[in-house]
Amino acid sequence: MQIELQVFSGRPNPRWSVFGVQASDLMRRLRSLHVEANEMVAPGLGFHGFVIHYSGSRFCVYKLRVTVFRSKTKRVFQDTAGVEAFLVAQARSHGLDNLLPPIDQL
């Protein structure tokens, strides 16, 4: 499972892999999402959230919304399972604090 911090335009975004217990925890959180929501559009520049790449699916996480892209479908859910908080903690553990917005702007 690959996690990408969407923060740069014109150069590669930071990426890292999640394995084992952490990957299982993240998948459990994603599978538990069931409350549909309106899509949250990111601003032009700066922090755009996270992208999870897993087994042919893509999950975009931004402003307490999780957009799931699978095959040709797209669904948006409220982040009722703490997916974004999990990813913020992951980014911090990889030394990417300086690329995250202040906590009150997440």
**34/79 Cα distance (integer angstroms):** 9
C-alpha–C-alpha distance, residues 14 and 50, integer Å: 10
pLDDT (tens digit, 9 = 90+) per residue, 72-96? 899 999 999 999 999 999 999 999 9
pLDDT (tens digit per residue) in 19-50:
999 999 999 999 999 999 988 777 777 889 99
Please spell the DSSP secondary structure of 71-99, one letter per residue.
TTEEEEEE-TT-HHHHHHHHHHHTT-GGG
Better-predicted residue by pLDDT, 53 or 44: 53
The sheet carrying 57-62 orders its strands as 15-17, 2-5, 50-54, 57-62, 65-70, 73-78
Length of the chain: 106
**Model pTM score:** 0.91
- Considering only the C-alpha atoms of the chain, give the largest distance between any 2 of them, rounded to a whole number of Å: 35
